[in-house]
Homo-oligomer: A and B are copies of this chain.
Amino acid sequence: MPTGVALRDPRQQLFDAAARVLVRDGVGELTSRAVTAEAGVAKGVLHRHFADFDAFLTELVLDRIARIEARAADLRDRAGSGTVTGNLTEALVSGFDPVAVAMIVLVIARDELRTRLRAAGTARLPLVGEAAAMVAGYLTAERDLGRIAADADVDTLAPTLIGAAHLRFTEEEHGPAAPEAVRRVVEAVLAAALR
């Protein structure tokens, strides 16, 4: 069924399809065929818009990173209001949604992807690194406001929170957020800093 009609935003359409496949079927099923089929387009579309499949995946991850960065401002604006524990729990729960977790798993699983992402300027483990920076920024703001201990080691606390929360979600196997468990983790890590 050949069509000459242009798709609307084929790149984003493919990104969304890939996210659906990833969350629904897992990394093992994330193939170029599965993505294009899910998007309802021919295989050729992907290769017209991306150099190769790994380039597509790289841009997919970078696209998600951009969204996380957009949310970073939100968390930082919360500094000073509500409770530190509550703000962090909410940010971690909403930040590590099933798609974000699947994306992290994807990066872990695909060796090649890490190389390309590093070439794209995203050092360390992407998504996690961005998320840690976001949390560190918030914690610094709270510290400046005197709401957490002045000697709190922000640069250690941030990746610790992310790591522990990340594991929680990985363990849950892409399941729905478990805010209670995340809140306990946040409380445990910040217990000393909050006094």
A residues sitting closer than 8 Å to B (CB atoms) are 26-29, 105, 108-112, 114, 124-125, 128-129, 153, 156-157, 159-168, 170-171, 173, 181, 184-185, 187-189, 191-193, 195
Majority SS at the chain A contact face: helix
Task: Report yes or no: B168 in contact with A164, Cβ–Cβ below 8 A.
Answer: no
A162 CA to B163 CA, complexed, in Å: 9
Known: A156-B188, A160-B188. 14 other contacts (CB 8 A): A26-B111, A27-B109, A109-B109, A128-B167, A159-B168, A160-B189, A163-B167, A163-B185, A164-B164, A166-B167, A188-B189, A188-B192, A191-B192, A192-B195
Chain B CB within 10 A, most for which of A109, A124, A162, A195: A109
In the complex, A159→B167 CA distance in Å? 8
- A157 CB contacts on chain B under 8 angstroms: 188
**Closest 7 CB pairs between A and B?**
A163-B167, A191-B192, A109-B109, A163-B164, A26-B111, A160-B164, A192-B192
